[in-house]
């Protein structure tokens, strides 16, 4: 029994990250139609704040028409830069260094066997959560930990906006643990100053497309 507990906790964490990744993608009809299965998956988690956060989001997500969810998604993640889901942007902005960070992530995913669409950027949080949910030996959590400050920044922005999507970032935080003092300081700095700007070096990666790439993998 004692040996089985860590495996159960790992399985619960993976399920949580997988659900959050799926629900943070652009709301497609197929995903919305599977609301019952998603509720069942959330209900299968142990009683506690993680399950409560997912239930809170799903209560809104299943009660609101799909068109309204889509409008909220676009207004939140596409039109508000501080709520963007492309995590390397907060650290690198439009500098050349962001291209190197994207290449590193893409190579990491390919080595782990995670298929990606060509029009999909590897720093898109749903992609990172999918990798974290499936990568062996805790590698995915290690990668997410490297972007802990950025995840906290997005979470706080969603809380400030009063977005129901904040509940999903709450669930991710419960899996990762609270950010360190250093991560909080980094998040506060980026929130105050914004990401750096240098509009060169990103041409090979194209523009983010939250409405297409992720769906190609499903």
Task: Assign 3-class secondary structure to 6-51.
Answer: HHHHHHHHHHHHHHHHHHCCCCCHHHHHCHHHHHHHHHCCCCCHHH
Report residue 86: phi and psi, to 5°: -95, 100
What is the domain count for the chain? 1
pLDDT at 123: 94
Note the pLDDT of residue 71. Answer: 97
The pLDDT value given to residue 186: 87
pLDDT at 211 (0 to 100): 56
pLDDT at 94: 66
pTM score, whole prediction: 0.84
pLDDT at 209: 47
Which position has the token pair 């609101």? 64
Q: Which two tokens stand for residue 88?
A: 């390397």
Q: Which residue range forms the structural domain that includes residue 39?
A: 4-216
Q: Which residues of the chain have pLDDT under 50?
A: 1-7, 198-210, 212-218
- In this prediction, residue 77 carries a pLDDT of 96
């Amino acid at each position: 029994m004692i040996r089985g507990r860590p495996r159960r906790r790992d399985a619960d964490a993976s399920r949580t990250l997988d659900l959050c990744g799926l629900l943070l993608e652009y709301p497609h009809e197929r995903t919305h139609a599977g609301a019952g299965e998603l509720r069942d998956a959330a209900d299968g988690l142990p009683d506690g704040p993680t399950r409560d956060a997912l239930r809170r989001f799903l209560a809104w997500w299943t009660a609101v028409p799909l068109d309204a969810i889509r409008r909220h998604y676009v207004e939140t993640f596409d039109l508000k830069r501080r709520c963007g889901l492309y995590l390397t942007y907060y650290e690198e902005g439009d500098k050349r260094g962001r291209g190197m960070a994207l290449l590193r992530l893409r190579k990491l995913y390919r080595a782990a066997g995670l298929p990606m669409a060509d029009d999909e950027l590897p720093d898109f949080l749903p992609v990172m959560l999918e990798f974290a949910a499936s990568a062996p030996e805790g590698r995915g959590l290690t990668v997410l930990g490297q972007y802990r400050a950025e995840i906290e920044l997005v979470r706080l922005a969603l809380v400030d906006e009063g977005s129901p999507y904040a509940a999903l970032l709450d669930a991710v935080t419960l899996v990762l643990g609270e950010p360190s003092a250093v991560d909080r300081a980094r998040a506060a700095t980026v929130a105050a100053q914004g990401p750096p700007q240098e509009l060169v070096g990103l041409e090979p990666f194209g523009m983010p497309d939250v409405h297409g790439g992720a769906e190609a993998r499903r």
